[in-house]
Structure 1
Amino acid sequence: MQTLYRFQTADHIVAGRNSLQRVGEHLHLIGADVHKALILTQPSIQSLGFVDTLVGQLADKGVQADVSTSILPEPTIGNIEQVFAAMEGAAYDLVIGFGGGSVLDSAKILSVLSTNDSSVRDLLGTDLVKKPGLPTILIPTTSGTGAEVTPNAIVTLPEEELKIGIVSRYMLPKLVFLDPMLTLGLPKPITAATGMDAFTHSLESFISNKANPISDMFALESIRLISSSIVEAYRNGASVEAREKMLLGSMYGGMALTAAGTAAVHALAYPLGGKFKIAHGVANSMLLPHVMEFNMDAIADRLQQAAEPMGINTQGLTSSQAASKVVERIVEWTRLLEIPQDLRSFGVKLEDVPEMAVSASKVTRLLNNNPKELSLQDMEAIYRKLLS
């Protein structure tokens, strides 16, 4: 565990049922005059009328709002730069991300592109953004990425068939709204994938080499909230209580990864998304039990600590036995949530494995957080477990 650690997150968080209705009255928390805003969202969110509610509140405060639904589900550098080009000359002084993780990440990137003389590619990596971006408001509509409270944003590089992160404190939002009512209509597959993504953030942060008392606090509470609600949210999507727990659990997971970072699961997931377009949460879900098994001899005591908030009775068990129960529970969830477990269904072949391992090996920012070093052969072996 680190002896020196730090933590920073969104400036202001407004949470609770129907909190979307309160955006207008909290605009002053941005700390700057706002006259024109760009709202990034998804067609499905716009069709439900939520965006109209937001536009109306902004208008009441004298803020003109334009709406863009041009961000792709897995945005590429080209997609983001295309949207940025369309912003030219519009004189926006606020960017609002209203949607899933891709929309929230894109809002953060567009905000810093607006004030830094840089391309998206210039910013790939850590602390390469030179100055603050436009103020942002982030409103998640899924319970998965925790992007609303992290300094991270992920983009796809099609030519390299890989996803890469941009990490900068300047991408933290001024204002976040967590309204579980926005997540009631999530389809089952998205509930499952994003929920397991959030759980992966928490568990990986808890076993990370950079884990610390701050990240542990958020990770364990996230694990508790998600473990007690993910199956219910999947089976009964109209359960506001389950949706609220998932949304808070997702946020805490984002805070945990901000403080400690994710590890090998995410590193191995990036080539699956970049090359085979496998949804990030699905890729994480598939890899999570196998990476935990690989790490087992180094993290048994940590997994034992995670067992209790997962609702697992560990009385009389050794740390190794309790850790195995954690992995078994994860496997059970993937079955109950009907998440695919065979990479072949996504077009992956055995001959693709060496190239995927090489791509994953380049994600050193995350692999360095893993409690055990992975060789190329180790990575290939993990991928092959999903092709058996």
Structure 2
Amino acid sequence: MSNLPYSFQTAARIVAGNGSLDRLADLVQGCGEVKRALVIAQNSAVRLGFAERIEAQLRQAGIASERLTGMMNEPTADHIGELHARIKETPFDVYIAIGGGSVLDAAKILSVLRTNKERVEEMVGTDRVRKPGVPTVLIPTTSGTGSEVTPNAIVTFPEEELKIGAVSRHLLPAVALLDPELTLELPGPVTAATGMDAFTHALESFISNKANPISDMFALEAMRKISGSIETAYREGRSLKAREDMLIGSMYGGMALTGSGTAAVHALAYPLGGKFHIPHGVANSMLLPHVMAFNYDAIEERLAEAATVMGLREGRGASRTAAAEAVIEKIAEWTKTLDIPQQLAAFGVREEHVPELAVAASKVTRLLDNNPKPLDIPQIEALYRKLLA
């Protein structure tokens, strides 16, 4: 845990609970004088009728709206720029985004493109967004990224075969709205991948070099909620209790990473997404037990604390070592129980790709610097090879 000063910021307002989407119009009007809204909707949110519900509320409140769709699953800088070009001539007072993390991240970037002269490429990195953007209302329909409460937005750069984050307080939304009912239709594979992504946020934030009392609080509660509900949510998708715990757990995971940051798992996952388009949650799931095992001698005590909130300690008599090892074993068990692929070969990754993946991962210093143990390129290569064996 860091002894340096720490800080924490999140969404200006958080509204959660079953049926909370029905409060949207009132929440939007709390963003200032709103006459026209842009609804940025994932295709699934349109198909399930969520976008239409939002627009109906806005009409009833006397707010005009337009809909922006066609979002890529992993938006590139060029794609976000193209979307901005489609909407920049129309004045909007608020951007309302509904969907998974990619849609929410893109909405954040679109909001600041409206008010800043910099291009997307110039915004990635830390604190490179100069001015606040259009107020945003972010509505997650998956329980994974926690993007609705973070100052982060991830952008894909195909030419570099990498995903890079923009981090700025100006990316925080005016409102985060979490309605568990919107996640009831999530397919099993998406539930598994996004849920493991959220758990990774929590655990990595907890073992991060920048962990602090604020991030620890959110990380531990995120792990408690997710570990107690992820298997039920996967097997019984209509379980509202499990869905609510996953959604709140995901939010807490986002708050944890906002306070301390993720580490080597995410650094190694980004090249896998950028080059081979492996879903981010899947890449995290595959890497997580191996990276935790690599870090083990530096994080045993922290893993033992995680075991307690995960319900893995049989009693106070359980040794710290046994408890810590149980966490890594449980993660590996989840990847099998949740039917997450175990081998990178399933995505076309071969031995000859390992050196370039390792070089790409080594450049993600923003996250590698958070890892409890330093990693050099041969060690990164060795971690990738564990998923090729």
**For 1:236 and 1:89, how far apart are their aligned partners in 2?**
45
- Superposition RMSD in Å: 0.8
Q: What percentage of residue pairs aligned between the two structures are identical?
A: 61
Match of 1:387? Answer: 388
Match of 1:279? Answer: 279
Matches within 5 A, 1:216-365: 216-315=216-315, 316-365=317-366
| Counterpart residue type for residue 385 of structure 1 | K
Matches within 5 A, 1:14-33: 14-30=15-31, 32-33=32-33
Match of 2:135? Answer: 135
**For 2:290 and 2:34, how far apart are their aligned partners in 1?**
48
Q: Between 83-92 and 142-151, report the one with greater CA deviation.
A: 83-92
**Secondary structure of the equivalent of 1:23?**
helix
**For 1:58 and 1:2, how far apart are their aligned partners in 2?**
45
**Secondary structure of the equivalent of 1:308?**
helix
- 8 Å Cα contact 1:307-1:314 kept in structure 2: no
**Secondary structure of the equivalent of 1:195?**
helix
Report how far residue 29 of structure 1 moved. Answer: 2.5
1:174 equivalent to 2:174? Answer yes
**For 2:370 and 2:251, how far apart are their aligned partners in 1?**
21
Match of 1:162? Answer: 162
Match of 2:36? Answer: 36
Measured against aligned partners, the alpha-carbon deviations of 1:61-107 in whole angstroms (never above 9, x if no partner) come to 22111111121001111110110000121111211110000000000
Measured against aligned partners, the alpha-carbon deviations of 1:205-259 in whole angstroms (never above 9, x if no partner) come to 0000000000000000000000000000000000000000000000000000000
Measured against aligned partners, the alpha-carbon deviations of 1:20-73 in whole angstroms (never above 9, x if no partner) come to 01111222332x211111111112211111111100111122211111112100
**For 2:274 and 2:284, how far apart are their aligned partners in 1?**
13
Matches within 5 A, 1:73-152: 73-152=73-152
Report how far residue 314 of structure 1 moved. Answer: 4.7
Matches within 5 A, 1:181-220: 181-220=181-220
- 8 Å Cα contact 2:44-2:99 kept in structure 1: no
Measured against aligned partners, the alpha-carbon deviations of 1:259-283 in whole angstroms (never above 9, x if no partner) come to 0000000000000000000000000
Match of 1:60? Answer: 60
- 8 Å Cα contact 2:201-2:257 kept in structure 1: yes
Report how far residue 320 of structure 1 moved. Answer: 2.3
Q: Between 309-318 and 296-305, report the one with greater CA deviation.
A: 309-318
| Counterpart residue type for residue 369 of structure 2 | N
Give the alignment's TM-score, normalised by structure 2.
0.98
Match of 2:370? Answer: 369
- 8 Å Cα contact 2:204-2:263 kept in structure 1: yes
**Secondary structure of the equivalent of 2:104?**
helix
**For 2:111 and 2:27, how far apart are their aligned partners in 1?**
20
Report how far residue 338 of structure 1 moved. Answer: 0.3
Report how far residue 6 of structure 1 moved. Answer: 0.5
- 8 Å Cα contact 2:39-2:67 kept in structure 1: yes
- 8 Å Cα contact 2:28-2:137 kept in structure 1: no
Q: Between 263-272 and 310-319, report the one with greater CA deviation.
A: 310-319
**For 1:336 and 1:39, how far apart are their aligned partners in 2?**
37
Between Structure 1 and Structure 2, how many residues are aligned? 387
**For 1:254 and 1:70, how far apart are their aligned partners in 2?**
26
**For 1:2 and 1:331, how far apart are their aligned partners in 2?**
28
**For 2:30 and 2:176, how far apart are their aligned partners in 1?**
11
